[in-house]
Structure 1
Amino acid sequence: MLMFSNNQKISVRQLKRLLVMDWIGKISLLLPRFIVQSSGKDLILSLILGVGITAVYTCIVCYLSRYITRSFGGYVELRLGRASAFALCLVYWSYMFVNLLYITRVFGAVTRQYMLPELSENIPCILMLLGGFYASMDPKERRGRIAEVLYPFVLIPLLILLVIASFGVQSEYFTYESANFNAVTMKQSFQVFTAFGGVSLILFEAPFIQKSGMRLRTTLKGLMITAIGIGAAILIGIGSFGDQGMKALRWPVVTLMSNVDIPGGFLQRFDILFLALLLMSFFVAASTGIFYLNLIFKEMFKQPEEKHYHLLMLILSIAGVLWCKNVEIAQQLFLTVNCYLLIPIMAVFTVIFAILEWEKRRRSK
């Protein structure tokens, strides 16, 4: 039985489930598209390296979050001044806005291609944002409650799917050649790291998380669950379709689901059922996006908690999605703006602040 609190905080268990639900849908559909540049084994190597980099960065983020008691914007303002705090908050806000555009367009494209081909892509996009808007409103722990409920309905079918799909793997698709460690592998490792770049936003949510001492372990658990699930799906996809087949597919993970044959003829439309459950994780991701847009906006402009600011974030999100006409534009925007500009800025400042805090504590001993 689930027990929910009303203390404007989320538990570390809910934090883990929020992270997994936020990551697993987006990353499972994003990462396989990197395979067009390399072989499947190189992508797995990139995934391992990228997750390793993310784990180290997560340790840095969680270390810094221990010293944020009220707000990250206020923390930065005390150290760098009002103008610098505004600029850095604008970087985080822009990252989340572009991320929200991308996941919303992915949701619309997948829904139209596999479930409702006669429907305009904009309709599921707007419905997703409306659902995310509702889930992101006060109380702040509402997002945690929704993730708590949806988590087993997404993860358990995923596990069942992977087990059944593994029986269709063809060994001839796996060669004994070693993966190549080259410039492409390094680039893809960086892209994997940027796919998990949202871990930086824990700095803004730190004041709302219970049991702050367990923050690091919980976040790393969420990272490992996501990485193992996506890594297994990619491996099974390579074993089912081969490298060239994976490169030819637009959404290889979704195609893998549609090819699963349930023993005994039971649930022949399991692919649609699971796809619907997977897409539910996008509603959690949308709620996270709108929540952070509103939270960071208030820290940028020193605004109190007002519902009309929340509504403004929804309107801006819908306008952005309508401007970003398709998923190809959204993906290019995500790679160009988030991966190669905003996430490096966020990471550099996080590392600098963590080093300064460590040096400050060392000198005070």
Structure 2
Amino acid sequence: MKLQSEEGFISDRDIMIAVISNIIGLLTLTLPRLLAANTNSSDGWLAIVLGGGIVSFFAYIVSKIASSFPNQSFFSYASYLVSKPLAVFFTLMFTLQYLAIASFQVREISVLAHQYLFDQTPREVIALAFLLVVIYAVSGSHAAIFRLNVLFLPIIIGGLLILILLPLGFIRTENLLPVFQTDIKGYLKATYSSITSFMGFGIVLFYIALVKSPENTPKMAVRGVLVITFLNLLLYIVCIGVLGNLTTENLFFPSFDLSRTVDIPGGFFQRFDSILFVVWTMIIFTTALMAFDIAVMTLMMVFEKLKKIKVIFTLSPILFFISMLPKDYLELTKVSSVMSSFIVIYLVIVTILLGVAYKIKGGNQNA
């Protein structure tokens, strides 16, 4: 079964950009805190490198399997590889997973905006306003989503590079040294946290069907992961170097707070947090947008007669309701931890099962 797409095909480069946009996500804001909590000094850099390497391997495997079934939906090639009933289960689980991811993004943007900018505005109002924009974007074509990714990415990368470069003169070497002071248990926990922050590569399973000639897509997906690995590494080192391990560990959004703690003559960096908020809104928007789009897409794979707009309007209230369930930020953090663990475990299981089935069956039935 071919994936029908009225808006045509996308390129390998679009997949790489989508992977970068989706992985950056909200966890880039919190990753330095998660690493600092499990490591000493600046030892978290090793966890980022290991996590990026492991995820690059899985991204290649996932992309390689999907690219072997050109222009076919996940449900189509999964049905061939592991049987239709199991494919239905996998697909619906992905629907729930990406609906939860979109809900988490909606809630987090409301928390971030309420904490740093709109402290007098109810979180529910902020979340609803953000969700309405996401709904509008998802109602369009897949091509429009990828055009938004292409449009936003230079701004996002530019904002991150400014955040990394401006505080370089304020780095204190005593915050970075000595190295290799963390025990094995700490490294394992930190590496696991690093891996969870890279799980956005899973979108390749679904969007690769829109690539006309996906032969080079696995390499592009890996490049996307490596780009984010490099950016996360730089951002982590700057956070630790400027703020220190202990301070970073006790900040909810250390990457964002970095822009508020460095004082540069002229006042530009004092207000850079406002500019950075715009950048992070773009990041969270693209992540929520693709997550909700995949939730809609996967549901329509199983129930082919459903109309897209009806699915969107049915899932939207559910998404908003889920986003409002956590009572406070502490509970939201716990939910995020559980959700991240589920995403990692589930994606690894699906990848292994599809990989084994692919090896046994010898690839595409049309090859």
Q: TM-score, normalised by structure 1?
A: 0.90
5+ residue gaps, structure 2, are none
- Report whether the alignment pairs 1:57 with 2:58: yes
Deviations 1:137-161, CA, capped at 9 Å, x for gaps: 2321111111111111121122122
Q: Report SS of the residue matched to 1:41.
A: coil
In the alignment, what sits opposite 2:139?
Answer: 137
**One-letter code of the match for 1:200?**
G
Checking the alignment, whether the CA contact within 8 Å between 2:42 and 2:175 is kept in structure 1 is no
Name the structure 1 match of 2:257: 255
Q: Determine helix, strand or coil for the equivalent of 1:323.
A: coil
Query: Aligned letter for 1:203?
Result: L
Per-residue CA distance 1:298-318 (angstroms, 9 max, x = gap): 123333443111222222211
CA deviations on 1:104-153 (whole Å, 9 max, x unpaired) are: 22211111111111111222222222222222223211111111111111
1:27 match:
27
Sequence identity (%): 19
Aligned residue in 2 for 1:43: 44
| Structure 2 partner of 1:149 | 151
Residues in 1 aligned to 2:73 and 2:305: alpha-carbon distance in whole angstroms: 13
8 Å Cα contact 2:48-2:232 kept in structure 1: no
Q: Which letter maps to 2:140?
A: D
Instruction: Pick closer, same or farther for the CA change 1:189–1:42 going to 2, 3 Å.
Output: same
Checking the alignment, whether the CA contact within 8 Å between 1:98 and 1:338 is kept in structure 2 is no
The amino acid across from 1:350 in the alignment is T
Is residue 73–residue 89 contact of structure 1 (8 Å, CA) maintained in 2?
yes
Give the Cα–Cα distance (whole angstroms) in 1 for the partners of residues 274 and 291 of structure 2.
Answer: 26
Residue of structure 2 equivalent to 1:13: 13
The match for 2:191 is 189
Q: 1:222-256: per-residue Cα shift (whole Å, max 9, x none)?
A: 21222211221111111111111111222111110
Query: Whole-Å Cα distance in 1 between the matches of residues 40 and 360 of structure 2?
Result: 43
C-alpha separation between the residues in 2 aligned to 1:180 and 1:238?
15
For 1:211, the equivalent position in structure 2 comes to 213
1:213 Cα deviation from its structure 2 partner: 1.8
- SS of the equivalent of 1:178 reads coil
Whether contact under 8 Å (1:134, 1:287) holds in the other structure is no
> Aligned partners of 1:80, 1:269: CA distance in 2, in Å?
53
Matches for 1:49-128 after TM superposition, within 5 Å = 49-68=50-69, 69-128=71-130
Could you tell me how far apart the structure 1 residues matched to 2:41 and 2:299 are?
41
Q: 1:353 to 1:6 in 2, by over 3 A?
A: closer
Q: TM-score, normalised by structure 2?
A: 0.90
5+ unaligned residues in a row in structure 1: which ranges?
A: none
Q: Secondary structure at the match of 1:213?
A: helix
Deviates more, 1:63-72 or 1:78-87: 78-87
Q: Which residue of 1 aligns with 2:232?
A: 230
Q: Contact (CA 8 Å) 1:162, 1:236: kept in 2 or not?
A: yes
Q: How far apart in 1 are the matches of 2:38 and 2:80?
A: 44
Preserved CA contact (<8 Å) 1:129 1:283: no
What is the Cα-based RMSD across aligned positions, in Å? 2.4
**Would the alpha carbon gap of residues 40 and 102 (structure 1) be closer, same or farther in structure 2, given more than 3 Å must change?**
farther
**1:175 Cα deviation (Å)?**
1.6
**What is the rounded CA distance, in whole Å, between the counterparts of 1:122 and 1:82 in structure 2?**
40
